[in-house]
Structure formats: structure tokens, C-alpha cells
Chains A and B, each alone.
Chain A
């Protein structure tokens, strides 16, 4: 086994920023808005780095797809402990149309090229909330998947994954190579401190094109419209139970 882990990291609008929809309803305002690494991707990077520190794997490779700014996200991953980065350059219309299908094709191609033992991704991105990339990547590679992982342990050539599901927790054992997606409680990601960022400047980021990997980036989806969620109506305060009942009758709810 190569002992190499691929970690996908996505550059998204920072979780604390108030999102604004563009006036023409074609999308969300991204110019001049603070961006950072998707929180679930941070957890994925942390898990990979932890596995390396415990000597279960040998190398952590951070991958990000997008324009030049995606390199900032890779630099953060490098500062957290990844060994090297791969920036898959996708710009313009291709970038706007890029979704889980395109990213999973890229991840699958890179996994074969880099002879990866594991792919760890965040369970979903906080901007599109697709929760599809991990699953699609596993399907394209015909690899087993451990999604919504809240605990991961490598046992020889198998992986034991404890998954967070609706009913509670499910434990599975799958063969490697495999795809894992990180859930919130998998670990506590370390902060990329200044000394680590400085050290990471020496680490390499390779640049690749989807064309080099022989991939077609056309999307089968078209964004028709983006709207803000409906405004929550202000609540109405009533004085007595009779008032409440009459108001409910007015509304037609009673």
C-alpha cells in the first residue's frame, strides 16, 4: 500500500459571513467576501494528519479545484500538516458550473494517478450543501465508502468506520482503498498558526488542468434562479387564551 492519502479541500465563503444574493438572482455575492476552508474539509485534513502522526499512513496530499485563490486553501491545509498540494485549475464558466460530479471525476483521476490508499473528504460543503462528492468519487472508482465518519481506525488493510446515522451510530469495516467523508464530531481541527504557515511555504503545490487528466467538465445542471429564504414573519403576541383561539380561527388553522 502506498500509504498516501488524498484530502479534498474546498474554498467557500466563510461560515460567519452573512450571505447576500446578487440583485439579478443568478447567484450569491462572492466578490470581496471573506473566504476560507470549508469546516468539514478542515476536519478531513485534521484526520489525515492525525493518521500520519500515528504512522498509519505516510503522506497527506491536499487537493483543491478552482481558480488561483484555491491555492490559499491548499496553503492552509499544508499549514495544518499536509505534505504537498495539488491545485486543479478550473476557472471562469467551468468553475461556475463545477459541482460534485466534476470534482469527483477529478478526485477519481488523481487517486489513480497518485496511487492513493484513502480519500478523505468533508461530508458536505457549507455553500452548496450537496453531500455528494464523496459518494460519487467512491462510485466512479468502485471503492467502498465510509461516509459521515465520526471515528476512523485503520486495521491492517481494512478501515473501521463509526458512522453517524439517524438512528445513532453504525460501525462498518471496509477494505482499502476507500473513500471517507468527515462528519462534525470526527476530531477537533488544529488552527493554522503563523509559525506553521511559515513552515508550509516550503511545501510544494503542483498545478494541473482537468484536460491533462483527460476529463470533461461540462455540467448537466443549470442554475435557474437563486433566492433568499422567505423572511420570517414577525410573531404576534396575544393577551388571553380567547384571543389566541380567535386568531387561530382567523388564520384558518383552527
Chain B
């Protein structure tokens, strides 16, 4: 019952781990918090709840991508374009 979701959860974890490497406060900082938050929800069995948590994780993925893009954009804008 939880088996197909298990694969999804692992995939989410790996994606977040990969994204977190560039985190401004350090990849280690992110990885520790990522592990802690996944471990906290280790016991959840209800598939509906699991899906909800996966959704939250995917939201974080999108937020990180946006963060990285904005940082880069703002740095380039500051360096190359006179305001």
C-alpha cells in the first residue's frame, strides 16, 4: 500500500538533496535539516497524509529553484547593468 509512495518519497529526498547542495547557508546545513524533517515524519502511514507531505516537499523544490535563479539574476544585474 505504501510501496509506490515509498519510491516517490525516495525520489523527492534525492531531488531535495541535489538541490540543497547550492544552498546559501551551506549544503551541510540544508542536508541536516532535510534529514531531520524526513525522519520526523518517518511514522506516517496514511497515504493521503504522505501525499500531502510530498506536495510540501515539491513546493520546497520549486522555492529553491526560484531562490537560486533570483540570486543569480540579481548578481548579474548588479554587475553588468548600471541602474
Tell me whether B81 is interfacial, beta carbon within 8 Å: yes
> From residue A229, how far is it (CB to closest CB) to chain B in Å?
13
Task: Output the nearest chain B residue to A124 by Cβ-Cβ distance.
Answer: B80
How many B residues touch the partner, as a band?
10 to 19
> From residue B30, how far is it (CB to closest CB) to chain A in Å?
15
Most buried by B among A39, A188, A191, A197: A191
Task: Output the nearest chain B residue to A191 by Cβ-Cβ distance.
Answer: B65
Task: Output the nearest chain B residue to A192 by Cβ-Cβ distance.
Answer: B18
Tell me whether B75 is interfacial, beta carbon within 8 Å: yes
Query: Chain A interface secondary structure, helix, strand, loop or mixed?
Result: loop
Out of B18, B19, B69, B76, which one reaches A15, CB within 8 Å?
A: B76
Are A184 and B75 in touch, CB under 8 angstroms? no
Once A and B bind, how many residue pairs between them come within 8 Å at the CB atom? Answer: 33
> From residue A118, how far is it (CB to closest CB) to chain B in Å?
23
Tell me whether A195 is interfacial, beta carbon within 8 Å: yes
Query: Chain B interface secondary structure, helix, strand, loop or mixed?
Result: helix
Are B69 and A39 in touch, CB under 8 angstroms? no
> From residue B72, how far is it (CB to closest CB) to chain A in Å?
6
Tell me whether A194 is interfacial, beta carbon within 8 Å: yes
Bound CA span A195–B12, Å: 10
Please name 15 further chain A to chain B contacts, defined as beta carbons within 8 Å, in addition to the given A15-B75, A193-B15, A193-B19, sorted by A numbering: A15-B72, A16-B71, A39-B72, A40-B76, A126-B76, A184-B73, A184-B77, A184-B81, A191-B19, A191-B65, A191-B68, A193-B18, A194-B14, A194-B15, A195-B11
Write the residues of chain B forming the contact surface with A, with a CB cutoff of 8 angstroms: 11, 14-15, 18-19, 61, 65, 68-69, 71-73, 75-77, 79-81
Write the residues of chain A forming the contact surface with B, with a CB cutoff of 8 angstroms: 15-16, 39-40, 126, 184, 188-189, 191, 193-195, 197
